[in-house]
Structures are given as structure tokens and as C-alpha cells.
Structure 1
Amino acid sequence: MTTPEPTQPSTSWTAFTVETADHVATVTLTGPGKGNAMGPDFWSELPLIFRGLDADPDVRAVVLAGSGRNFSYGLDLPAMAGEFGAVLADKAQAGPRSTFHDLILRMQDAITAVAECRKPVIAAVQGWCIGGGVDLISAADIRYASADAQFSVREVKVAIVADMGSFARLPAIIGDGHLRELALTGKDVDAEYARRIGLVNDVLPDADAVLAHAYETAAQIAANPPLVVHGIKTVLDHGRRAAADESLRYVAAWNSAFLPSEDLTEAITAVFEKRPPQFRGA
């Protein structure tokens, strides 16, 4: 199936483009960080986009894609360093910790807006999908990958307990054992491995093919009665939502208490200095 021609002009966003054609919306990550890294604009715009699509009667399915060679490098640490600065600079005080807790909840809400969208979301992944990128696709209903896709739950490598949804949603997708292996090692896995563990439904030859396959699935969904599609999503999500919400609240509280550390400061510094971090467990 070819990419549909948009029948509705895209809205002006900084981190995304959004187009709708034939009852299918296409949400494309555009940066502005390298590799579609997730900076402040990503976190503020994502919930607005998906809640708007949820309310749009013309939209019956959503394709979520990344522009360029990669889906997303994940959290844009340099761009978000200012958001983390207060809690790292004065980590013993309640005020900065409370502010940081609020930040985590707002960022979680952005990913949750994707999960709670009543219109089915199909993620088309090419190239790298790291950290926050995995959080994002874990909120989708269906995931496809190109043959060159690489995945990594890499937060452990930057002294962060993943808190945007991977731990809340991936157990139901890939199982507890596979998630623990990915989260504790932070290793990279290829598309075939991702298919084998159930992280993606299918692997296509290249980026064009994976996007076309996502549109084909979206068109099949859009041809079905929309109220029934909404009902299917609601019923399937019913048993998972409470567990996911509880997990997200718990990790937000955990990270606001324990995430600030010398190791996290070292991780951010190492990113800026373009060198491997040296962690000391402090």
C-alpha cells in the first residue's frame, strides 16, 4: 500500500508533524534534537497531539513514525539538563524533589496520552529506538520494525531508572524475563531479536516498507466500525491500565527520592564531554 496523500494540512509543531488522510493520522517525530531526541518540545506537544487525535471524529487509526534514519535516540539529555538541574544542585531539599516529581508525572502523562488514545496506534520503527523511544512504542497498540532497527532500554547506562512507561507496559508485551534482561544490561538488540521476544509484530526490509505496512494495517483498522474498535481497545486495556498507573506512580516517587546522585551528574557530564561515564555507586 502506498502512503496516503494528506487531505488535511499539518498543524505547526516543533517536535512533530501531524497529517491526516483517509481516516489515518500520521504523527512523525522530527526532533529538533539529533536522531529525534526527546527534548522539552516533545514532552509538551505529545499529549496535546494525541488527545486532539483522540477527540477527532475523522481519525480512526494513527501511524507513529520517526523522520530520517532513526526513530528516536530517546531522552535529549543536553536539552533536558536544565530541568534536572535544580534537584541535582540541591538534592537534599524537599522543594527541588517535589518539583522533579511533578516533572516526571508530566512526562509520564505525555506517553500515557498515546496509550490512552482510543484510536489504535501503529508504530513504524526504523534505525535506533533507544530509551524514551522504547517507552513511546510500548504505548502503541502494534509495532513494526525495519530490518535495520535497533532497540535499547538504555536508561541504566545513564544512571536512570526508566520511568516513562517501559517498566509499566513491557511486561505484558515481552514478558518479565526479557524486560529484566534488557533493563538490567542496557544492551542493544536488533529487529529479529525484537520480533522473537514479541517487542515488534513483524520486520520489514527497510524504512519505506515498514511505513507502508503500518499504513496497510491502519487502513484495515479504519475500515472497521469505529465504536467497536474503541470498545476493543477499552476492553483489552481495562485489566492493564490500573497496573500501569500504579507502576508509573511508584517509579515517579522512587526517582524523585533516589534518582539524584553523583552517578547521574557524571552521566550528564559525560554526555556533554563525549566520553564514557565512570560510575562510583554514589
Structure 2
Amino acid sequence: MTQHAWKAFTVEIKDHVAQVTLTGPGKGNAMGPDFWDELAPLFGELDADPEVRAVVLAGEGKHFSFGLDLQAMAPAMAPVLADKAQAAPRTDFHGVIRKMQNAITAVADCRKPTVAAVQGWCIGGAVDLISAADIRYASADAKFSVREVKVAMVADVGTLARLPRIIGDGHLRELALTGKDIDAARAEKIGLVNDVFADAEAALAAAHETAAAIAANPPLVVQGVKQVLDHTRKPAVDDSLRYVAAWNSAFLPSEDLGEAIAAVFQKRAPEFKGR
């Protein structure tokens, strides 16, 4: 694997297992421009590296990730949020969404299975990310939230496309329509995570143990198993992603979105009016 000075990640490879760790630079490993620029090429290199047979995905510090870095990503969203935005800014924004979708899809499409280890908060875009992993573990303090609805957005980079096959339609609708937080015990009960461990260290150790077990198997057969499992799911996921990208390009701009973003920065409850 070519050596890079990644800005949003660190990468360590040992015994055929790569650990990819989210490092920010936003608070709580929030997903800003560097994250979205680097995720696809990073997993593309892991996919192409014959020395890598499995990947562990982790977050640095107390939290896995706070999700989308709204402040850092504001410049990419500003043109389409302008009053009376026309076709050109909406087309550009559609491209931004598709780029973000492709970044998460690079994790799902990587032929090397990915095991996520989650501690602390896993919010919004971070749920999109772990939904693209093959296996998910959590520490007992982990908390999950499909929170886009709380900031007047339709989740558009993978959660709504991938979670139905992971947790089922009813559980997904509950999370996506309420934006509620759930703890690790609830996440395990509904199948969002495979197992819960006492702390972050134990969850990460379990992820490495599973990745090592995968790496010990014939690599081409492992890749074949993953590709067969993904074969029927992928067309539906791709169709969902294309649809939501078009939907948000057309309908994301709203007074409610502006109110939601203002409320976040002002640390107050938003007042939505359906405009």
C-alpha cells in the first residue's frame, strides 16, 4: 500500500489486517472535507493491496464519530441553500452528494471485509459509515443516532439504503423518523451491532480477533463470499442512493434546514415550520 499522510485517518497494517482509524480533524472525529476526499482512495488502496485481507475500522478517542461536520461542510452546501437556487448550484450539489455516497460505497465495495469497532457516539454520517461495514461491534458506552431528521435532512449517503437489510424496515423507520438515540444494548437487540463489549479496548480487540480469523481463510474465497452476499443487495442500494441524491438536490433547501443549522450553532431547540 502506497504511504500517504492522510489527514482524516491513520492506517496501520499488521499480519494481513489493516486498522483504519478516524482522526478528525473535526471534534469527535467529525466528517469534514478531508474525510470525504480521502475515504474512497484509502479503501481503494486497501482493496488493491494483496497484503491486506481484512480491515478494522475504528475511531480515535472517546467517540467513534459525531458524523457530518456541518461547519466544515457549509461552503459545499451554501450555494444550493441560497434563495432561489437554480439548476447550476443544484447540479453541483447533486455532485457533492454523489461524491459523499461514493466515499461510503468504497467501504461497502472493498473486497476485503471490514469490521467496525464503535465506542461513544456514532451519529448521522457515522451510522452511514458503519452500515457499509460487514460486521459491527460496540463498547457498552456506545450510542447511536440516525439524527439527520433533527437537522431537517433526509439521510442520503447510505443509512436508508443499507440498514433495512441489517436491522429491518420497522427498526430503521423508528430511528430515521424520530432521530432518537439508542444505547449499545438496544443496538445489539435490533441487530445494528453483532456484540457489545465492556469498553472500547475490548471492542477493538474483538474486531481484530474477527479480522484475524477472516484473514486466516483463503483470501479469494473470502472475497467471493462477500461478492456473492452483495450481489442481490447492491442494485437496490445503488437505486436508493441515486434516488435520494436527486431528492435532496431538489428538496433539501428549506427554512427548516436553515433553522436547524442555526439552532445547532446557537445550542438551542429548533422551531420547525414546514417551510
TM-score tier after normalising by the smaller chain length: over 0.9
- In structure 2, the partner of 1:87 is 80
- In structure 2, the partner of 1:258 is 251
CA deviation digits over 1:138-197, x for unaligned, max 9? 000000000000000000000000001000000000000000000000000000100000
Find the partner of 1:234 among 207, 227, 240.
Answer: 227
Which secondary structure does the structure 2 equivalent of 1:118 belong to? coil
CA positional deviation for 1:267: 1.3
1:268 aligns with 2:261: yes
- Aligned-residue CA RMSD in angstroms? 1.1
Matched ranges for 1:156-175 at <5 A: 156-175=149-168
Partner Cα distance (1:36, 1:82) in 2: 19
Is the Cα–Cα contact under 8 Å of residues 153 and 187 in structure 1 kept in the other structure? yes
CA positional deviation for 1:265: 1.1
TM-score, normalised to structure 2, is 0.98
Partner Cα distance (1:111, 1:9) in 2: 21
CA positional deviation for 1:11: 3.2
TM-score, normalised to structure 1, is 0.96
- Residue type of the alignment partner of 1:35: G
Partner Cα distance (1:91, 1:22) in 2: 55
CA positional deviation for 1:274: 2.3
- In structure 2, the partner of 1:117 is 110
- In structure 1, the partner of 2:123 is 130
Give percent identity, aligned residues only: 74
Is the Cα–Cα contact under 8 Å of residues 79 and 85 in structure 2 kept in the other structure? no
Is the Cα–Cα contact under 8 Å of residues 2 and 45 in structure 2 kept in the other structure? no
Partner Cα distance (1:276, 1:82) in 2: 24
Find the partner of 1:100 among 93, 106, 116.
Answer: 93
1:20 aligns with 2:13: yes
Q: Any gaps of 5 or more consecutive residues in structure 2?
A: none
Is the Cα–Cα contact under 8 Å of residues 60 and 221 in structure 1 kept in the other structure? yes
Q: Any gaps of 5 or more consecutive residues in structure 1?
A: 1-7
- Is the alpha carbon distance of 1:47 and 1:247 closer, same or farther for their aligned partners in structure 2, counting shifts above 3 Å? same
CA positional deviation for 1:275: 2.1
Which secondary structure does the structure 1 equivalent of 2:163 belong to? helix
- In structure 2, the partner of 1:176 is 169
- Is the alpha carbon distance of 1:10 and 1:67 closer, same or farther for their aligned partners in structure 2, counting shifts above 3 Å? farther
Equivalent residue pairs, number? 275
Partner Cα distance (2:176, 2:3) in 1: 36
1:52 aligns with 2:52: no
CA deviation digits over 1:238-274, x for unaligned, max 9? 0000000000000000000001111111111222222
CA deviation digits over 1:86-109, x for unaligned, max 9? 001144411111011000000000
